[in-house]
Structure 1
Amino acid sequence: MRDLPLPTLPFSDLRPVASDRRSLHPPKADEKAAARPTAARLDVAWARSDADIRQAQALRYQVFAEEMGARLCTPKGTPPGLDVDAFDAFCEHLLVREVRKDGDLGKVIGTYRVLTPAAAKRAGGLYSETEFDLTRLRSLRDRMVELGRSCIHPDHRSGGAIMVLWGALAEFMLRNELDTMIGCASVSMRDGGHFAASLWKQLEKTHLASIEWQVRPRLPLPVEELRHDLPAEAPPLIKGYLRCGARILGAPAWDPDFNTADLPMMMRIADLPARYRRHFIE
C-alpha cells in the first residue's frame, strides 16, 4: 500500500479482465470469453508467468528505488533494476497494462501483490509482521489477505489504473470467500517525519480501529520527538482507503530502507460503504 494519487475516473466505466495465475479458484471458461479490455484501454490480469512478475518488479523498482529513493535489499543474484524480496514467490501478482491501438498489451503500469492465507503459512508469515506485532489479528487470518507493493507508473496516476486494480481485488476476495485485507500504507519522511507524525495524530482521533484489532510497531516512529501538531491531509491513496471503510490499526512503524512511516491498515468487505459496494461488488 504505497502512496499514490487516487484517480478520478469512475469505476463504472471500467470492466477488468479476469485471468489468473495460481489463483485459488480460476475463472470459468465463459468468464474468460466474456472478458474484454476496459473502456479506458486498460487490461487487468493476474500474472501467469515469471516474465509477468518481472515486469511488475521492474515497475516497483522504478517507483520505489528511482522515484522514492528506497534502499532495496534484494536476494543475491537478483538482476539489476528489479525490486524483489522473499515474499514475492508466495504472492499472487495483479497487473494492469495499457491496451495499445493495435490491441496488443503494453508494459505493466500498475501492480499489487496479494498474499493469501494459505500462502502466508507457506511463507512463514506476512510481510507486515516484519514491521508490526499482529497477534490480535490471529482470529481473522483464515479469511485475511495481505496487500503490498502497490504502485502506479507516474504517467498513469491521473487515470483509472488504481480503480481497475481495486475492482479486480474485490472480485478476487469474493470469489475466494475472503473478507479482510491488511497492509502498510506508507507516508514519506522526506521532511524528517513531522508530517507523518501529525497525520497519525489526526487519524488516531477519527479512524483508529477498536482495541481488539490494534497492533504494535516493532520499530515505532518516534512521534513524541517530532512535531505532531501540523495540519496534515491524508495522501490520496490513504484517503481512498478510508473512504472505503478502512481503519488504522495503530501507531506507525518507521521503515528506514524506504524512508517512510508505515501505517497499519485494515479494510473489511463488510465495512464497504454502499456506493463502493455498488462499484466493486454488486
Structure 2
Amino acid sequence: MLSLMKGRYRARFAETPEDILAAQRLRTLCFHGDPDSHPLDADAFDAVCAHVLVEDQRDGTLVCCFRILPLTGGGEIARSYSAQYYELSALKDFEGPMVEMGRFCIHPEARDADILRVAWSAMTRYVDENGVEMLFGCSSFHGTDTADYLDAFAMLKERHLAPKRWLPRVKAPNVFRFAQKLRRKPDAKQAMLRMPPLLRTYLLMGGWVSDHAVVDSHMNTLHVFTGLEIKAIPPARKRLLRATAG
C-alpha cells in the first residue's frame, strides 16, 4: 500500500468512497469551478483506477490528486482514457507494463512546489515497485484558445515530438495540428512559462508528445498525448527521483 511522507505532505492511495469523492470534488474545483455549482467531475474510469491523494499533514487538506490505470502492455491500450481521443494503435506493440496517469490536479490555492515533488515521488515508487516501463496520459493546457500557447506548441514541435514508431494519430473531431501548422521559432522563455507544470516535468525526464492537441470543450482544455519511457529518463534525474521516493 502506497504511503509516502515528505515534509508537510503525505501521498497515499484512496481507501474509501469518501476519499474518492474528495478527489472528485478537487478535480471539479480545478477543472470546472466551484464544486457546489458544477456537476461532479466523475466518470466510469474512476471505478477501474487507483487514486493517489496528496494531503497536507497538518490538517488533512487534500492539495493534489491523480488516478492511475495499470496496463499489462500496449495490447490493452484501447482500455485507456486517452484512447477516446487519440488513435493509439502504434502503441499496441509496446511490450512492457504501462500506466496511464490522469486527472492530475493541484488545489489552485496550494502553491508549494513540494506538492508536485511529492506527487512525482509517489509515482516513482509505484513505477519501481511494479516494473512499469512506460507512463502516459493527456497533459492539459487550461482553456481552448491555441493563441495563448503558440510558443509552447512550437517548442513541443521542435524538441519533443513522439518517435514515429509510437506517434498517436488523430481521432478526436476537433484538434490543433501544431506540428503541421506552426512555422515559428519558439521563444524558449515564453514557452516554458506557458507549459503546464505536469507536462514540463514529463519533458525534463525525456517525455514526448503527440503532433496535435485535442480541443476538449467539456474540460475547457487543450491536451496533448504524453508518453515517457522509463528507460529514457536521464540517470541523474532517476537517482534524484528515487532518492526523494525512498
TM over 0.5: yes
Counting strand residues as a fraction of each chain, which structure ranks higher? 2
* Structure number with bigger Rg: 1
TM-score for the superposition, normalised by structure 1: 0.73
Query: Contact (CA 8 Å) 2:74, 2:92: kept in 1 or not?
Result: no
How far is the alpha carbon of 1:141 from its aligned partner?
A: 6.0
After superposition, the Cα gap between the structure-2 partners of 1:149 and 1:208, relative to the gap in structure 1 and judged at 3 Å, is same
Give the match for residue 167 of structure 2: 214
Q: Does 1:88 align with 2:46?
A: yes
Q: Which whole-Å deviations, capped at 9, do the CAs of 1:220-246 have from their partners, x for residues lacking one?
A: 524479877474514141222211111
Distance (whole Å) between structure 2 residues aligned to residue 227 and residue 137 of structure 1: 26
2:128 alignment partner, SS class? helix
Distance (whole Å) between structure 2 residues aligned to residue 138 and residue 122 of structure 1: 7
From 5, 9, 19, the counterpart of 1:52: 19
Query: Contact (CA 8 Å) 2:143, 2:222: kept in 1 or not?
Result: yes
Give the match for residue 13 of structure 1: none
Distance (whole Å) between structure 1 residues aligned to residue 77 and residue 235 of structure 2: 35
Which residue identity is paired with 1:241? Answer: Y
Q: Which whole-Å deviations, capped at 9, do the CAs of 1:124-166 have from their partners, x for residues lacking one?
A: 6110011100100112265111000000112223331111011
Q: Does 1:38 align with 2:14?
A: no
Distance (whole Å) between structure 1 residues aligned to residue 205 and residue 77 of structure 2: 29
Which residue identity is paired with 2:242? Answer: I
Give the match for residue 235 of structure 2: 274
Give the alignment of 1:213-252 within 5 angstroms: 213-219=166-172, 220-223=174-177, 229=184, 231=187, 232-234=190-192, 235-237=195-197, 238-252=199-213
How far is the alpha carbon of 1:123 from its aligned partner?
A: 10
Distance (whole Å) between structure 2 residues aligned to residue 82 and residue 257 of structure 1: 13
Distance (whole Å) between structure 1 residues aligned to residue 28 and residue 17 of structure 2: 16
After superposition, the Cα gap between the structure-2 partners of 1:119 and 1:53, relative to the gap in structure 1 and judged at 3 Å, is farther
How far is the alpha carbon of 1:117 from its aligned partner?
A: 0.8
Q: Which whole-Å deviations, capped at 9, do the CAs of 1:73-130 have from their partners, x for residues lacking one?
A: xxxxxx9663101100000101011112xxxx51211011000116999996110011
After superposition, the CA RMSD in angstroms is 3.0
Q: How many percent of aligned residue pairs carry the same amino acid?
A: 26
Q: Which whole-Å deviations, capped at 9, do the CAs of 1:168-226 have from their partners, x for residues lacking one?
A: 11111111111100011112335x32234553233112111210010013225244798
Structure 1: state its 5+ residue gaps.
Answer: 1-18, 21-31, 73-78
Query: Contact (CA 8 Å) 1:170, 1:280: kept in 2 or not?
Result: yes
Corresponding residue pairs, total: 234
Query: Contact (CA 8 Å) 1:196, 1:261: kept in 2 or not?
Result: no
TM-score for the superposition, normalised by structure 2: 0.83
Give the match for residue 160 of structure 1: 114
Distance (whole Å) between structure 1 residues aligned to residue 113 and residue 21 of structure 2: 23
Structure 2: state its 5+ residue gaps.
Answer: none
